[in-house]
Amino acid sequence: MHRGSRTSIVCILLLAIALFLGPWLSPWGEEHIDWNAIDTPPSLVHWFGTDGSGRDLLVRTMAGGRVSLTIAFLATLVSFAIGLPWGAIAGYTGGRVDQVMMRIVDGLYGLPFMFLVILLVVFFGRNPYLLFIAIGAVSWLDLARIVRGQTLVVKNAMYIEAAKALGVSDPWIVTRHVVPNVMGPALVYATLTIPGVIIAESFISFLGLGIQEPQTSWGVLIADGATRLHAPWQLIFPATFLAVTLLVLNVAGDQLRDAMDPQEKGVRL
Amino acid sequence: MTRFIFRRLAFALVTLWLVVSAAFFLIRAAPGGPFDGERRLPPAIEKNLLASYHLDEPLPVQYWRYLRMVGSGDLGPSFKQKDFTVNELIRAGLPISLGVGISAFLLALLFGTLLGTLAALGHNTFRDRFLSGLASLGLAFPPLIVAPVLVLVFAVGLAWLPAGGHTSPQHYVLPTIALSLPYIAAFARLSRVGCLEALRLPHVTTARSKGLSRRRLVFQHVLPSAIVPVLSYSGPAAAALLAGSMVVEEVFSLPGLGRYFVQGAINRDYTLVMGTVLVYAALILALNLLVDLLYGRLDPRVRSEMVASND
Amino acid sequence: MRVFLLLSALWCCVTGLADFIRIGNTGEPATLDPHRYNLRLEETILNDLYLGLTTMSPAGHIVPGAAISWDVSRDGLTWTFELRPNARWSDGEPVTAEDFVFSYQRLLNPQTASSLAFFMYPIKNAEAINSGNAPLNSLGVTALTMHRLAIELEKPFPFFAERLLYPTAYPVPPHAIAAHGDAWVKPGNMVTNGAFILADWRPQGFVELAKNQHFYDAFNVALPGVRYIPVQNATTALNRYRAGELDVILEFPAGELRWLRQHMADHVRVSPLLSVMYLVFNVSEPPFNDARVRKALALAIDRRILTEKVLKSGERISYGLVPSMVANYPTATTQLPDRALARNLLRAAGFTQDNPLKLTLRYFTGDENKRIQIAIASMWRSVGVQTSLHHAELNVHFADLRQGNFQVAHAGWFGENNPEHYLELLMSDIGDVNYGRYMSPKYDRLMRQAKRTADLETRITLLKGAEIEGLRDFSVIPLYSVMIRSLVDPQILGWHTNPRNVHGARYLHWK
């Protein structure tokens, strides 16, 4: 594996471990209020300072990251659950079915999805489950296209031809032979979906339409921090965490993709 | 070709109808109504209000009434902005959203392609890694991070540019930058890959071996093919830009469509929400169609596909 | 340089904008039709456009407006107003008693669909007309002569002069409405009788008012005009104020108060708003039908922490439902937190450590509200109560409250210098604004008795009796009065803080 992608993956793992284990090491609870330390800048007691309600910002940032990452992961799973079978079936079946299924995907690209997601969340409550299902349900389109492309390649492979000749049923071939073979590229593209979902979630939370107090997410923390001109640490810490996470995920996704696509080598002008 | 456009237009109309219907029924199924507020409404008054907006009719009747109205180009009166119709509000808000959207898009396109091309031309050198890294950095700074920081630094701190409003061109500088950053990155990556692929094309290799000047090589042979992946991403990018403008409009208090949409959703201003969603959907569909047509012009393979799909 | 100065001077002459005051309003007005308005941010603008029978002095006192004087009959039922003979509409037409008759009939006409028409229900037959049960001309408003207006009331209502301050009581121009129909509110069509006229309105951009040359007191109006710019987000408002784009902002974020006091002290105007913020229990739902539970939750809250540590703008604590600023009304007695007693009460009601009380606290979206609810949840946790928070937009929040779809909720009531306005909230027959469905025969009896009484002192005593009764049942927990946090350019004179937070631009001028 590429050295750079290994570094990025190690970074992501370290971040995840910090987010999930960090709270155990901090003396402050996620909802604990320090009445005498409302809006205090970073200090030895509160490393990241406190928020407008007197809660430890380090602990809040970790908690927000857990929510953001969890939602991103679950939404990606949802998009996987739709996009993988969609692309595999379209690609494997081909013909009329393929045309109709891909035309639907084309049509859906034309929809203002972010708006429908916002309508859903505004109208049916700020429920984290709803949030990730809605985001996941709208971000499977790219995946479906890529899986279809890969399926077309795999479809003509010898062993599939052989299986067909032996009279193995189509569902069996798709689940046992096609899906495992397109899994790799699909997973790589999923890592590129995750930052997109993180942005979508923070975007909705930033508009005040996402996660509810006392739960939090990076989007909520950034939106709160953005209103505090003279408490810049409340913006800087969550914003840095979000930016670094997005960066690392994007770099990792890129490098994984490059590693799988050996085409791009040694052209120089 | 005409048949292709005609079919796409029919397809777009059906999509629009689906979007409007989805929005209509979503809104009506939601709790809370346009006349719920802080103050109480005696039942008699509530009845008067509902009747004056036809909200007391059965839902299918209202739906039919709305579709007929939209069909004739009338998006109805705004429930909350009582002195304006939705058409008037959109006429006021659309130029502002388009202003920010188009300038951000152009900035991203020009700057992104430039970065990507420069990186590709120096493939695997320090310059490539530096520029690619710079571009990746842009992806890590969505508008919700950049916008508040820009305001803090350039409007409040240095007082170079206004912090909000929309009355002069200066007002559009910060929103445009905040909105375009991630797309600069995306366009840079796409054009870099496009360039690299173009450099491997046979006619480019031939031209290079013939000793064609670097400048002519780049402008005549590499850029035209490199622009194809960039263009194919333009449709989705424009749609995402429009959505992203919601955050930017909120932070810079720009009275664009995005703000109308968010406020309309929050206030349950039914007609305004449906009107804005409709306009957004129409814009995105039109953009996608436009991109497809351009795409066909630039890439002969796609053109033949279009002809094929006409049968 | 000289050329530049000349040019800019010329520019100022052309536009005349240099002397305009640019006010950052808290949002976009939904309408400038005084009979269809609904929001406090519209009141501010309408108050500059129109002049009611009574109006407000810079300090917020009730002073003669379109009427020079008025008389109240002995039984308190008939109010007679003497109109200003020199009052004119902005097109030069005289303002007559007939105009007021037309306006009040229009307000109460069910077809106008005015959401605040009930402000004028004290007028005879108003409610019946608005419900469609009586003809328009049966309204108790009569033009005695061209400049004499008589208003008959259903019941004595000593606070009527104050009710007339609301835009619902402003006159609208019959001739302009006849000429333009619904489009009469557009710039160019709108005719007003206040100090300013509507010059321009760009939705979400600005509302521009220009001086009304026909205003009876135009001589004393110094400003050539005002621009109201909607800025929903308080942080954006502050940024734009500091960048010099606004001369006044009507709200800035609470968290910036300390910094602003240190660095821009002569800009800061902080004063209490006539209001009460409170928590309400849904008493129709267990366990909140148990007074011990309600009392325990009330005793667990330390209001001093809320105002001094969380809000920090100098908010006044409310122990009663009537804000302490309301004139001639004795304030409620102090109630100190008592956590030990709160725990005992909870235990007595059957809630222990193994079986803790779990509840959902609802509030409407907003930074200040959020921090208050977080603090309250934390205080309740310290007596063993588990609170989950739920926030929704204002519309949805209050729709839920009215439908009784909540356990405990945060609510607020703004408005009048009149104790009844607040105490009505707990009457069992007031309708769904009694969110918690509180019902006490004694409370209702005292309130009804008060409303029939013309003598102010007896009326107040009865009202106070009702308030004590209501507080004893802990059906609501009054918390505090909201603070207005504005920034005003020190170059602007004539800006007085007042508890209604309405500042007539006719009183303002540049230094």
Q: Is residue B27 part of a domain?
A: no
- pLDDT band (50, 70, 90) for residue C177: very high
Question: How much of chain C exceeds pLDDT 90, in percent?
Answer: 50
- CB neighbours of C383 closer than 8 A, spacing ≥ 6? C296, C300, C339, C342, C343, C346
Least confident stretch, B24-33, C412-421, C454-463: B24-33
Residues of C in contact with B150 (CB under 8 A): none
How far is B242 from B288, CA to CA, in rounded Å?
13
Least confident stretch, A119-128, A189-198, B236-245, C381-390: A119-128
Q: Is B167 part of the contact surface with chain A (CB cutoff 8 Å)? A: no
DSSP E strands, B34-84: none
B154 versus C371: which is more confidently predicted?
Answer: C371
Interface test with C, best of A39, A212, A227 (most C CBs within 10 A): A227
Q: Inter-chain contact B259–C204, Cβ cutoff 8 Å?
A: yes
Whether pLDDT at A13 is above 80: yes
Counted across chains B and C, CB pairs separated by less than 8 A come out at: 141
**Three-class secondary structure of residue B114 per DSSP:** helix
- pLDDT band (50, 70, 90) for residue C12: very low
Confidence at residue B258, expressed as pLDDT on a 0 to 100 scale: 84
**Three-class secondary structure of residue A158 per DSSP:** helix
How far is C17 from C33, CA to CA, in rounded Å?
25
Q: Inter-chain contact C239–A229, Cβ cutoff 8 Å?
A: yes
What is the pairing mode between strands C408-414 and C275-281?
A: antiparallel
Average pLDDT, integer, range C459-478? 91
Every domain of chain A and the residues it spans: 3-265
Q: Is residue B78 part of a domain?
A: no
- DSSP secondary structure letter of residue B89: H
Q: Inter-chain contact A107–B11, Cβ cutoff 8 Å?
A: yes
How far is C378 from C302, CA to CA, in rounded Å?
11
Question: How much of chain A exceeds pLDDT 70, in percent?
Answer: 90
Whether pLDDT at C9 is above 50: no
**Going by CATH, does the domain composed of A3-265 fall within 1.10.3720.10?**
yes
Whether pLDDT at C160 is above 50: yes
Confidence at residue A266, expressed as pLDDT on a 0 to 100 scale: 35
Confidence at residue A155, expressed as pLDDT on a 0 to 100 scale: 77
Q: Which domain holds residue B211?
A: 86-309
b/e per residue C2-40 (b: at least 16 CB within 10 A): eeeeeeeeeeeeeeeeeebbbbbbbbbbbbbbbbbbbbb
Cβ neighbours around C267 below 10 Å, total? 19
All residue ranges of chain B with pLDDT < 50 are 38, 301-311
Q: What are phi and psi of B262, to 5 degrees?
A: -65, -45
Is the CB of residue C272 less than 8 Å from the CB of residue C482? Answer: yes
Confidence at residue C107, expressed as pLDDT on a 0 to 100 scale: 93
User: Of chain B residues 172-191, which have a CB less than 8 A from chain A?
Assistant: 189
- Looking at the complex, report in whole angstroms how far the Cα of residue B51 sits from the nearest Cα belonging to chain A: 23
Closest CB to C115 among B45, B167, B252: B45
Torsion sign over Cα A183, A189, A192, A193: negative
- pLDDT band (50, 70, 90) for residue A262: very low
- pLDDT band (50, 70, 90) for residue A265: very low
What is the ipTM score, two decimals? 0.72
Average pLDDT, integer, range C307-316? 87
Across chain C, mean pLDDT equals 88
- DSSP secondary structure letter of residue B178: H
Q: What are phi and psi of C483, to 5 degrees?
A: -105, 140
Q: What is the DSSP string of A137-151?
A: HHS-HHHHHHHHHHH
- Of all residues in chain A, the one with the smallest CA distance to B278 is A112
- DSSP secondary structure letter of residue B58: -
Confidence at residue A268, expressed as pLDDT on a 0 to 100 scale: 34
Q: Is residue B55 part of a domain?
A: no
Least confident stretch, A83-97, B280-294, C294-308: B280-294
Closest CB to C391 among A122, A212, A226: A212
Is the CB of residue C380 less than 8 Å from the CB of residue C477? Answer: no
Q: Inter-chain contact C398–B37, Cβ cutoff 8 Å?
A: yes
Residues of A in contact with C259 (CB under 8 A): 229-230
Q: Is residue B26 part of a domain?
A: no
Average pLDDT, integer, range A145-167? 79
Q: Is A102 part of the contact surface with chain B (CB cutoff 8 Å)? A: no
- Of all residues in chain C, the one with the smallest CA distance to B152 is C239
Whether pLDDT at C273 is above 70: yes
How far is C415 from C433, CA to CA, in rounded Å?
15
**Three-class secondary structure of residue C406 per DSSP:** coil
Confidence at residue C395, expressed as pLDDT on a 0 to 100 scale: 67
Torsion-angle region of C357 (φ positive above 0: left; ψ -120 to 50: alpha; else: beta): beta
How far is B5 from C318, CA to CA, in rounded Å?
68
Amino acid, res. C20: F
Average pLDDT, integer, range C93-111? 93
Average pLDDT, integer, range A253-261? 68
Q: Is B29 part of the contact surface with chain C (CB cutoff 8 Å)? A: no
Confidence at residue B1, expressed as pLDDT on a 0 to 100 scale: 66
Q: Is residue B71 part of a domain?
A: no
Confidence at residue C311, expressed as pLDDT on a 0 to 100 scale: 86
Counted across chains A and C, CB pairs separated by less than 8 A come out at: 61
**Structure confidence by residue, pLDDT tens digits, C228-272:** 998 877 888 888 888 788 999 998 888 888 889 999 999 999 988
Q: Is residue B8 part of a domain?
A: no
A169 versus A260: which is more confidently predicted?
Answer: A169
Whether pLDDT at A127 is above 60: yes
Decide: residue A41, CB within 10 A, 0-12 exposed, 13-18 middle, 19+ buried. middle
Question: What is the count of structural domains for chain B?
Answer: 1
Average pLDDT, integer, range C84-94? 93
Q: Is residue B53 part of a domain?
A: no
HSE, CB side, 13 Å, CA atoms: give it for residue C348.
13
Confidence at residue C463, expressed as pLDDT on a 0 to 100 scale: 92
Can you name the residues that pair with C412 across neighbouring β-strands?
C277
Residues of A in contact with C239 (CB under 8 A): 229
For residue B91, what is the domain's CATH number? 1.10.3720.10
Confidence at residue A264, expressed as pLDDT on a 0 to 100 scale: 42
Confidence at residue B38, expressed as pLDDT on a 0 to 100 scale: 46
Q: Is residue B155 part of a domain?
A: yes
> What is the token pair recorded at A85?
């079978």
Is the CB of residue A116 less than 8 Å from the CB of residue A137? Answer: no
Q: Inter-chain contact A213–C235, Cβ cutoff 8 Å?
A: no
